[in-house]
Amino acid sequence: MSAPVRRTGGRSAAVLASIRYAVEELVRERGAEKVTIPLVAERAGVNPTSVYRRWGDAAALLNDIATYRLDPDRELPHSGDLRADLIAWAREVVEHYRKPINAALLRGGSASAGEQETECLRNRRAEALVIMGEPAALDADEIIDGIVGPIVYRAIFLPWTLDDDLPVRLVDKVLPA
């Protein structure tokens, strides 16, 4: 009655890696919308059935890829200067979504959003709160409305406006000098 022993190494790991790579290529080439499982499988040199059995559908697959693109365990800025840290973090996020692959994945994720917060964006918010430290000068709502919201909005609908000075402009608004 115990849980079956998972097999994550060897072949499975290779399949996973080649599928992730194939997805990223295809999203770049045709946009997240037009990425189908048979297409991914062929590009990855893998049987479509394997993809269906692991992820179920294309939306779940894309979401899985998106989650791992910006490492949730990476080192966060912590110079001690709150304002500088916030700017540095915002810059990372902007930089991230400036890559067409990540913006495309974000759009794909947004299509299936609404029920619950996506893993990927929950990570962003958690990071912001870590940077704020305790006691926090800003609460979660201020981060969302002041930093994450505008960046994500632009990433989805106005990707060509993700300028270098956007992070500073946004932080200036939420943290008046």
Partner DNA sequence: CTCCTAAAGCAAAGGTCTTTGCGTTACGCT
Partner DNA sequence: AGCGTAACGCAAAGACCTTTGCTTTAGGAG
- Nearer to DNA by Cβ, of 4 and 114: the residue is 4
For the stretch 154-158, contacts whose Cβ atoms lie closer than 8 Å and that sit 24 or more positions apart, written own/partner, are 155/97, 155/98, 155/102, 155/103, 155/106, 156/103, 156/106, 156/107, 156/110
Q: At its nearest, how many Å lie between its own copies and the CB of residue 31?
A: 7
Dihedral sign for Cα 119, 124, 130, 134, please: negative
- With respect to its own copies, which residue has the nearer C-beta, 18 or 112? 112
Nearer to its own copies, 29 or 33 (CB): 33
Question: Where does this chain bind its own copies (CB under 8 A)?
Answer: 31-33, 59, 103-104, 107-108, 110-114, 117-118, 121, 141, 144-146, 148-150, 152-154, 156-159, 169-170, 173-174
Binding site partner of 80, from DNA, its own copies, none, Cβ cut-off 5-8 A by kind: none
Question: Which residues have CB under 8 Å from 12's CB, separation 6+?
Answer: none
